[in-house]
Structures are given as structure tokens and as C-alpha cells.
Amino acid sequence: MVSMTYRDALRRAIDEAMAEDDDIVVIGEEVGRYGGAYGVTKDLIKTYGPERMIDTPISEPGIVGVAVGAAMTGLRPIAELMYIDFLGMSMDQLANQAAKIRYMFGGQIGVPMVLRTQGGTGRSAGAQHSQSLEGWIMHTPGLRLAMPATVADAYHLLRHSLTLPDPVVFIEHKALYAQKEEVDLDAPALPWGKAAIRRRGDDLVIVTYSRQLRFAMEAAGQLAERGVEATVIDLRTLNPLDFDTIRMEVERIGKAMVVCEGVLTAGVAAELASRITEECFDFLEQPVARVAGEDVPIAVSPALEAASVPGVDLIRDVGERLVRW
């Protein structure tokens, strides 16, 4: 067992993968000399040099476009975008090229790249640096999507992402980088695309991912003090989505809520709630509850920022109402 932060786990995953595979290169703004916007690639340039730790101009379309071309021609790039909010500028390269090339070429060529980026609130970074845009990725066939919530998953999911033949979007919540845990990285990891049941109960199912797992677990602890025992499912990846685990627990318990930081309208929570309703309808005792972000741009004010996304109190209160109805 070792104690490490979420940031350290990501760096270790990249370091080990680069040591094993000379075709892995890192591409992005300030990933080399500066060490990445959140310090994930710090000091790696000392080991791998500027030929593999490639600092780019400030051009998100250029970063993703170069990564797509490099992946198609034999390398395995890790591209970093400082914030997921900048994804819009590179959606043509990502959604129209990376996601579709395998299909357009009949499987003869793939795009084995990982796009690392940071999302979410918690740092008063404002409306253009705080969004949760995983719904954009989940909506695009051909893109894999990982959103680790724990230190161990940050390591294992990134390591696994760097073995896949298809493009992976790897979203790290900016409020998790300093999270520290005792982990055994040599212990067997869950398979890629498999959800984790982090807590078991018989009264309610809470489905979540990324930083909201921390809030859901704390809320579940408070619910237990009030006599409500919740099962908490950490999805870990949104594509592939382990709906079998969701279905099994919802059919067993009959009450479910989905907790996401992204906005409520047409977001991940809406998709999951709809699918649970369609596929588990005969087992549901209550409508599926959606707990998600407000449909507003994120404010700089810490108080307003916190009020715009789910927190422990909201998750706890919605869960209790769902069970008491």
C-alpha cells in the first residue's frame, strides 16, 4: 500500500506507459517544461525529453489534429487540453475525424489516442473554465469516455486507456487532483467498462461518477444515520456504460437516483434516468430522480458556484424524500 494523490497516480501511469512504449508521446500546452496545467506531467521532460513531451502553441484544434494524425500513422499520443471548456474549438478533429476514422476506413486503421482534459467546478474558475461537458462526448459514437473518481482508478483507467485501439477522452475533475488515498496499485483492477459498487444498501440506488462520488458517499453516510441505506454505484466509464450493474441493483431495490455535475437538461443524468425507466420500469416503485447541475453558466463567486451543482445536502435530501414517499 502506498499513499498518493490523484495527480501522482496519473503521472505514474503516464511515466510507466512511456517507459514501456516508445510510441507514446505527450502533446499539449505547457506539458513539458511547465509540467501541465495541473502538474500531472511535471518533470517527465527530464526523462523523456522534448521530442516526446511536446509543448505546443495555444491552439486546441492543432493539438487534437496533430494527435489524430500521429495516432493514424503509428504513434500513441496523449493530448492534453487544459480545460474541457476548450473542447468546442477542436470538436471537428475529435468528433468528425477521431471518432469516425475506424468506421469510414472499414476497420483498416484506428486512432489509438488519449485526450486528457479537466472539467468541473470547485476552483472559482468562471463560466469558461468550469463546465462538465461529458454529455458532448457520450453523445458521439466512436469515442470512449473515462471519468475516474478515485486515486486507484485514475491510475488503472489511464493505463488501460493507453492500450485501447480507439480514441479515449479521459476527463479528470479539477477538484480531485489533491485527493490522497492509500492504494495498492498491484491489486487486480476492475475491467475497463465495469462499474464499481462503492457502498451497499437496500433502500435506494445512487448512480454517479467523478467528484460526485465523494458527495454521494458522504450523503449515503448521513442517510444511514437517518435509517436509509443506499447502494452507491461509481460508473467509472460512460462509454462503455455498465448498465448491467445499474439494472441489477435497480431491479433489486426499486428506487433510484442519478447524480451528475453536468447540467440537468439533455445531460448524462437525463440519459441514465430515461434508460433506467425504460429497462427497469416494472421494478420501479418511484420515478427515477435526477440530481444535476443548474442550467446556468458557472459563476466565479464560490457561493454561487457551489449552489449551481449538486452537493452533499441536496443528494441526502432528495434521497430521503425518494425513500419516504
Decide whether 2-183 matches 196-324 in CATH topology: yes
Confidence (pLDDT) at 91: 96
Helix-then-strand count for the chain, H and E: 12, 14
Q: Which residue has the cell 476548450?
A: 86
Name the catalytic one among 29, 129, 172, 305.
129
Averaged pLDDT for residues 177-197? 95
Q: What would the grid cell of residue 103 be?
A: 468506421
Averaged pLDDT for residues 187-197? 95
Q: Which residue has the cell 486512432?
A: 111
Name the catalytic one among 16, 30, 51, 60.
60
206 has a pLDDT exceeding 90? yes
- Helix (H/G/I), strand (E/B), else coil: 8: helix
Confidence (pLDDT) at 255: 98
- Which phi and psi angles does 308 have, rounded to 5°? -90, -5
Q: Let me know the angle formed at the C-alpha of 123 by 307 and 233, rounded to the nearest 5 degrees.
A: 65
Question: What percent of the chain shows pLDDT beyond 90?
Answer: 98
Q: What would the grid cell of residue 297 be?
A: 453558466
Domain ranges of the chain: 2-183, 196-324
**pTM of structure:** 0.97
Is 139 a residue of the active site?
no
Distance CA 211, CA 221 (A): 16
Task: List, in sequence order, every residue forming a beta bridge with 171; answer none if it has no partner.
Answer: 117
On whether the CB atoms of residues 32 and 45 are closer than 8 A, the answer is yes
Is 60 a residue of the active site?
yes
pLDDT confidence of 261, banded at 50, 70, 90? very high
Per-residue model confidence as pLDDT tens digits over 104-133? 999 999 999 999 999 999 999 999 999 999
Averaged pLDDT for residues 281-303? 97
**Nearest Cα to Cα of residue 27 among 52, 2, 4, 9:** 52
Confidence (pLDDT) at 107: 93
Tell me, rounded to whole angstroms, the distance of Cα 136 from its chain centroid.
12
Per-residue model confidence as pLDDT tens digits over 138-151? 999 999 999 999 99
Confidence (pLDDT) at 266: 96
On whether the CB atoms of residues 198 and 213 are closer than 8 A, the answer is yes
Q: Which residue has the cell 473542447?
A: 87
Distance CA 7, CA 143 (A): 24
31 has a pLDDT exceeding 90? yes
Positive or negative, the CA dihedral 145, 33, 127, 209 is positive
Distance CA 294, CA 122 (A): 15
On whether the CB atoms of residues 7 and 178 are closer than 8 A, the answer is yes
Torsion of CA 184, 190, 196, 199, to 10 degrees: -40
Confidence (pLDDT) at 125: 95
Distance CA 93, CA 87 (A): 10
Tell me, rounded to whole angstroms, the distance of Cα 3 from its chain centroid.
22
Four-way CATH pick for 196-324: 2.40.110.10, 3.90.470.20, 3.40.50.920, 3.30.70.260 = 3.40.50.920
Give the DSSP letter string of 135-176.
HHHHTSTT-EEE---SHHHHHHHHHHHTT-SS-EEEEEETTS
325 has a pLDDT exceeding 90? no
Task: List, in sequence order, every residue forming a beta bridge with 28; answer none if it has no partner.
Answer: 55, 80
CATH top-level class of 2-183: alpha beta
